Amino acid sequence: MPTLGVNIDHVATIRQARRTVEPDPVAAAVLAELGGADGITVHLREDRRHIQDRDVRLLRQTVRTHLNLEMAATDEMVAIALDVQPDYITLVPERREEVTTEGGLDVAGQQDRMTSVVAQLQGAGIPVSLFIDPEASQIQAAAAIGAKFIELHTGTYAETKDEATQEKELTVLAQACKQALTHNLRINAGHGLTYWNTRPVAQIPGMEELNIGHSIISRAVLVGLERAVREMKQLIESP
């Protein structure tokens, strides 16, 4: 069964709505770990709309599981990552005007830049994951440039409303996993996963970690974060 990385970006979204000091994502990470989170994920966006530099630095000192830093492959972010040294980094595409991450990284289309960023980060001892769509060419490119992990973008699967298309998208994810395993890539997945659509993804052979944020934080507003995390863990682990 995959492990659960809890993305706490949207705890910071509530704080930034008032530019105040609460709720603190650092406290949220502690509660998520108490609820059974296997890792903590944060996305330090270039526009700093939710997670702030201070959060990443404090989380590095306080997270007891592992810290996954999601970031764009820019020089500014690479410098921060090299300084903070998260347990692993997930490179994601970023557009300032987007509501959330819209698609996977085009690794195949920017191999030179990606090779150089991955070499810099992994050369400093930080494993790199590439957030990509479940497409054969992107998986091949991720393997070719030497990334340790990929994170399969589950957005298309998650947003699909009808069952037949959802089944089809699940097969696409399963085939992507098979291909990634032949390249010895380690496989994470995430984006848009909820209490209603996560189980089938958790059952795909080869899945190592699911990164889930918005749905867990939404439930936490109603039932508390520890319970929300525990319920997602139980769902992932149920046969």
Ligand X SMILES: NCC(=O)COP(=O)(O)O
User: Which residue of 2, 3, 7, 72 would you call a contact of ligand X, by CB under 6 A?
Assistant: 7
Q: Are 63 and 84 in contact (CB under 8 A)?
A: no
Note whether 93 binds ligand X by CB under 6 A: no
Token readout for 140 is 């091949």
Q: Which of 43, 50, 135, 153 is catalytic?
A: 43
Q: Which of 10, 50, 153, 191 is catalytic?
A: 191
Query: Residue ranges of the alpha helices (H) in 96-224?
Result: 111-123, 136-144, 155-159, 163-182, 198-202, 214-223
10 catalytic, yes or no? no
Token readout for 20 is 């105040």
Question: Between residue 110 and residue 169, which ones bind ligand DXP under the rule CB under 6 A?
Answer: 131
- Here's the x/- map for ligand X, 122-161, by CB under 6 A: it reads as -----------------------------x----------
66 catalytic, yes or no? no
Note whether 193 binds ligand X by CB under 6 A: yes
The CB-nearest residue to ligand DXP is: 100
User: Which residue of 3, 65, 156, 211 would you call a contact of ligand X, by CB under 6 A?
Assistant: 211
DSSP for 74-94?
-HHHHHHHHHH--SEEEE---
Q: Dihedrals φ, ψ of 2, to 5°?
A: -70, 160
User: Which residue of 100, 116, 165, 218 would you call a contact of ligand DXP, by CB under 6 A?
Assistant: 100
Write the DSSP symbol of residue 193.
-
98 catalytic, yes or no? no
Nearest to 157 by CA among 205, 192, 209: 192
Q: Dihedrals φ, ψ of 161, to 5°?
A: -90, -40
So which residues are the catalytic ones? Answer: 43, 70, 191
Site residues (CB under 6 A) for ligand DXP? 7, 9, 43, 45, 70, 92, 100-101, 131, 190-191, 213
